[in-house]
Amino acid sequence: MCGLKDVYKDYFKIGAAINSVTVQNDSDIIKEHFNSITFENQMKYGVLFNEKYEYNFAGADELYDFAKANNLEIRGHNFVWHNQTPYHIFNKSKEEVWELLANHIKIMYERYGDITKCWDVVNEAVEDKSSAYLRKSPWLDMFGDDYCKKVFELARNILPNNVQLFYNDYNEYIPEKRDKIAKLINSINKDGKLVDGVGMQCHVNLYYPTIDLVKEAIELYASLGLRIHITEMDMSHFRFDDTRILEAPDPHLEELHTKTYGDYFKVFREYSDYIDNVTLWGVSDSYTWLDNFPVKNRKNWPLLFDEEGKAKPALYTIMDI
Ligand code: GLA
């Protein structure tokens, strides 16, 4: 059987974000087309911790067992983020939170490290608005302006050198934010390389960004000596501020979807000397986070398989490049 991952085996890994529903419903697709997975939520504190702040590994273990049984590599996601982290862990002292983080990194490595080859160590630390450089977050408040560097140092000290450390963010192609991301990574790597790579989330839509902006971002990040992973790709049919709900995809937009996926994958192939992994944020349109973002209960048709799990023309297009 020749899946997407086989077509791309000389270029980069092909990944998907999975959860306990998709491993049930879409397992055949995952096995046929993907060789890398990211746990959509199951490695985040908000899901790993029970109400008493004790670990509950059930969800993560299920996905790990699926990965292991099917020879899939895991992208670890993530250690430090302003979101999906129960805020009252920050009621503890600075020292206690730091210890919690250090233990967490060790625990994740011991439990999942055999097949987890890289980690998004810090997720989304850069501010979107022009008014600030770093996003306000409890991590920033508690550990100061150089908290990202401290976290990368901690992770580097705990994880073996063959585990790659990534900084991951969205809107990573918008020049102003892109340059702030580059500035942050340069500041972390100033006295020695701690960040091995940048995760370009690539939550895009049919209209934005332009492919040239994506290329410019890839070139800039590559020029910093970083490996690149496309970490969360999906392509909505709607502009971000378009709140319409459609019963079925517009055929013209489906054609544009096919063409635009083709354009992106051509660029990814062109830059495959720098790109090691292209991950889609989901498997099929039957479930994606975009069903509820930015509009509740709306289909966006962002992936390569439709609501019934049938391959869309976009899949064949990128397999045929
Ligand atoms: C961000 C995070 C992901 C996920 C998506 C939306 O991009 O990095 O973990 O939560 O948002 O689902």
The whole-number average pLDDT for the span 11-39 is 97
CA atoms within 13 A on the CB side of 19: 13
* Phi-psi sector, 79: left (phi>0), alpha (psi -120 to 50), beta: alpha
Nearest one of 50, 56, 59, 47 to 20, comparing CA atoms: 59
Of 21, 78, 83, 232, best ligand 1 pocket probe by most atoms within 8 Å of the beta carbon: 232
Confidence of residue 276 (pLDDT cuts 50, 70, 90): very high
pLDDT of 51 higher than 80: no
Q: 191: CA distance to ligand 1 center in Å?
A: 30
pLDDT above 90 for 10: yes
> Ligand 1 site: residues with CB under 6 angstroms?
77, 123, 170, 201, 232, 289
Specify the DSSP element, H or E, that contains 109. helix 94-112
- Gyration radius of the chain's alpha carbons: 19
pLDDT digits (tens, 9 = 90+) for 167-226: 999 999 999 999 999 999 999 999 999 999 999 999 999 999 999 999 999 999 999 999
Distance 17 CA to ligand 1 centre (A): 10
Give mean pLDDT, residues 86-103.
93
Tally the C-alpha atoms within 13 A of residue 146's C-alpha that lie toward its C-beta. Answer: 9
Q: What is the DSSP letter of 196?
A: -
Computed from CA positions of residues 238, 239, 240, 241, in that sequence, does the dihedral angle turn out positive or negative?
negative
* Three-class SS state of 173: coil
Q: How many CB atoms lie within 10 A of CB 111?
A: 14
If one residue of 122, 202, 281 were mutated to test the ligand 1 pocket, choosing by the most ligand atoms within 8 A of its CB, it would be 281
Q: What is the Cα–Cα distance from 8 to 5, expressed in whole angstroms?
A: 5
* H or E segment and range at residue 28: helix 27-33
pLDDT tier, 1 (very low <50, low <70, confident <90, very high otherwise): low
Residue 291: what residue type? D
Distance 315 CA to ligand 1 centre (A): 23
Give the position of tokens 């059987």: 1
Distance between CA atoms of residues 258 and 247, nearest Å: 19
CA–CA dist 7, 234 (Å, integer)? 20
Which ligand 1 atom sits closest to the C-alpha of 120?
8
Tens of pLDDT, residue by residue over 230-267, are 999 999 999 999 999 999 999 999 999 999 999 999 99
Q: Ligand 1 pocket test: which of 75, 83, 137 has the largest number of ligand atoms within 8 Å of its C-beta?
A: 83
Q: Whose CA is nearest to atom 8 of ligand 1?
A: 123
**Amino acid, res. 192:** G
Residue pair 183/139 in contact by the 8 Å Cβ criterion: no
**Residue 88: pLDDT band with limits 50, 70, 90:** confident
Ligand 1 closest atom vs CA 124: 8
pLDDT for residue 303: 98
Q: Quick one: which of 150, 143, 145, 209 has its CA closest to 178?
A: 209
Index of the ligand 1 atom closest to the CA of residue 170: 7
- Half-sphere exposure at residue 147, Cβ-oriented, CA atoms within 13 angstroms: 25
Tell me the average pLDDT across 75-99: 94
With a CB cutoff of 8 Å and minimum separation 6, the contacts of 144 are none
- As a whole number of angstroms, the distance between CA 46 and CA 195 comes to 25
Give the type of residue at 307. Answer: E
Q: From CA 16, how far away is CA 23, in angstroms rounded?
A: 11
Predicted pLDDT at 21: 96
What is the set of active-site residues? 124, 232
Is 90 exceeded by the pLDDT of residue 52? no
Q: What is the pLDDT of residue 50?
A: 81
Please give the mean pLDDT across all residues of the chain.
Answer: 97
- Closest ligand 1 atom to the C-alpha of 201? 7
Q: What is the pLDDT of residue 86?
A: 87
d(CA 151, CA 140): 11
pLDDT band at 62 (very low <50, low <70, confident <90, very high): very high
pTM, two decimals, is 0.98
